[in-house]
Amino acid sequence: MTQSSVPPGEDSPFYELRHEESRALLSRAHVGRIAFLHGNRVDVEPISFIYDEGWLFGRTSLGTKVSALGHRPWVAFEVDDVRGPFDWESVVVHGSFHILSPEGSEYDTALWERAIKLLRESIPGYGTPADHGAFRTTVFGIHMSEMVGRAARTRGR
pLDDT in tens, 19-30: 999 999 999 999
* Diameter of the chain measured on Cα atoms: 55
Contact, 35 vs 43, CB < 8 A? yes
- Domains of the chain (ranges; CATH) run 14-153 (2.30.110.10)
Mean pLDDT of 52-65: 88
Least confident range from 2-6, 8-12, 143-147: namely 2-6
Q: What is the pTM of this model?
A: 0.84
What is the sign of the dihedral through the CA atoms of 156, 18, 27 and 94? Answer: positive
Q: Report the helix count and the strand count for the chain, using DSSP H and E.
A: 3, 8
Instruction: Answer yes or no: is pLDDT of 133 > 70.
Output: yes
